[in-house]
Amino acid sequence: MGIEEVYRAESRRVLATLIRLLGDFDLAEEALQDAFAAAVERWPVEGVPASPRSWLISAGRFRAIDRLRKRRREVASPPDPLSLGERGNDMSEIEDYDVIDDRLRLIFTCCHPALNPDAQVAMTLREICGLTTEQVAAAFLTTAPTLAQRIVRAKIKIRDAKIPYEIPERGDLPERLASVLHVVYLVFNQGYFTRADLATEAIRLGRLLVELLPEAEATGLLALMVLHDARRATRTNAGGELIPLEEQDRSQWNREQIREGVALVERALTSRGFGPYTLQAAIAALHAEAPSSQATDWPQIVGLYDVLLRANPSPVIELNRAAAIAMRDGPEHGLTLIDAILARGELEEYRLAHAARADLLRRLGRKPEARSAYERALTLAVEEPERRLLERRLRELSATI
């Protein structure tokens, strides 16, 4: 195995363990680089060690201790994690379960709710996924210096407020896991239209979580992401225009991913404590398995939205339920529900509420109303593929009026 492969496979694990041993993110990152620099020098001569991971952890720790000793000689610095670093020189004591726990510690620390939400996402992509600061900045349409500063602030808070490097206790786990899943889902959604690489990264994170902590909602979220991703190729056309679900070429959906997603949904639904992610994944699974929009099991989808709404009341879910009712009972029934939501003043600024309303008006042949609803949606839409679809709808309406 070459050093590059080892880096890809092991660098995040080694980092997670070094953070625990050294008690400091920055020191651990320097140590990680030092360890790989040493490997580049020594492996070609001495051969790749039997356990590259232990070798790297050990090398990183000793280099870090060296650095700390030098710094101490240069300036009289306050007490540091040196004592930690010197404890237990025998690397064979770093067991696999320690390394697994360290990865979870890193995930829960990066997604700690006491950190700013933007920083949670940035830390996750940088520290857990190993993306560069430039890559993370590009994904979130910000500059590298801004992003770097966000990460620096987060690390300072972790150190100064003493956010512990630990897996939450059982009692705190649901809330803390929700925070982690939210970050993963944000990363996935950021890549929904244009950044397949981010969606892939989110799915990889999802897999890691399920492997390390097989909770129902972690499995549910992975299922949801895999099922959405199975439709990636058919979601936009060559011109970058959004293709709605009913017009997508279902023969192009990724059957392999759908099979995996459906199996994950089934597993999550039979585990204790499943919630919104699992229910949304179950809905996505019904869509994925349907041969066409007409042949979709709309009654069951409405039923799942009912459950989702009870567990998690939200106007957005109400809107999705209304769209499903329109498919089950006819557009006028869906329209009544959407109008009621908008009449409450909720979702007035939500583009998809107006787009869904416009679709139903179009199907009912109420063209002038459909037109103004599409226009309203267009003023609120930001994502280019969505805008293009709305513009096409408006063109089609003009052509037939």
Partner 1 sequence: MKYLCLVYQEEKQEANVPRDQIEQAKKDYWAFAEDIKKSGHYIVSHGLQHTDAATTVRVRNGKLSTTDGPFAETKEQLGGFFLIEAKDLNDAIQVAARIPSAKWGSIEVRPVWV
Residues that bind partner 1 (CB under 8 A): 112, 114, 160-164, 166, 168, 172
User: Least Å distance between CB 157 and partner 1?
Assistant: 9
CB of 230 to partner 1, least distance (A): 38
DSSP assignment of 235-266 equals HB-TTS-B--GGGS-GGGS-HHHHHHHHHHHH
- CB-nearer residue toward partner 1: 168 or 331: 168
Query: Which of 78, 291 has the CB closer to partner 1?
Result: 78
Phi first, then psi, for residue 361 (nearest 5°) are -60, -40
Give the up-direction half-sphere exposure of residue 119: CA atoms within 13 A in the CB hemisphere.
Answer: 18
Residues in the chain: 401
For residue 337, the minimal CB distance to partner 1 (Å) is 35
Q: Are 337 and 321 in contact (CB under 8 A)?
A: yes
At its nearest, how many Å lie between partner 1 and the CB of residue 83? 17
d(CA 109, CA 112): 5
Minimal distance, residue 160 CB to partner 1, in Å: 6
What distance in Å separates the CA atoms of residue 357 and residue 180, rounded to the nearest whole number?
Answer: 34
Burial class (CB in 10 A: 0-12, 13-18, 19+), 136: buried
Helices (H), ranges, 161-195? 173-190
Neighbours of 101 (CB within 10 A): 17
DSSP code per residue over 48-102: --SSHHHHHHHHHHHHHHHHHHHHHHHS-PPP-THHHHHS---GGG--HHHHHHH
Backbone angles phi, psi at 85, to 5 degrees: -65, -25
Q: Which of 137, 265, 236, 266 is nearest to 190 (CA)?
A: 137
Task: Give the residue with the Cβ less far from partner 1, 79 or 345.
Answer: 79
CB nearer to partner 1: give 165 or 350.
165
Q: How far is the CB of 195 from partner 1 (least distance, A)?
A: 33
Residue 343 Cβ, how far from partner 1 at the closest point, in Å? 29
Nearer to partner 1, 22 or 308 (CB): 22
Q: How far is the CB of 169 from partner 1 (least distance, A)?
A: 8
**Pairs from 328-331 (Cβ < 8 Å, separation ≥ 24):** 328/298, 328/299, 328/301, 328/302, 331/360, 331/363, 331/364
236: phi then psi, degrees, rounded to nearest 5: -135, 150
Rank residues 83 and 92 by Cβ distance to partner 1 and give the closer one.
83
**Least distance CB 112 / partner 1 (angstroms):** 8
Q: Which lies closer to partner 1 via its Cβ, residue 145 or residue 164?
A: 164
The residue among 47 and 78 lying less far from partner 1, judged by its C-beta, is: 78
For partner 1, the closer CB: 168 or 261: 168
User: How far apart are the C-alpha atoms of 44 and 209, rounded to whole Å?
Assistant: 35
> Please, which residue, 167 or 325, has the CB nearer to partner 1?
167
What is the nearest approach in angstroms of partner 1 to the Cβ of residue 156? Answer: 11
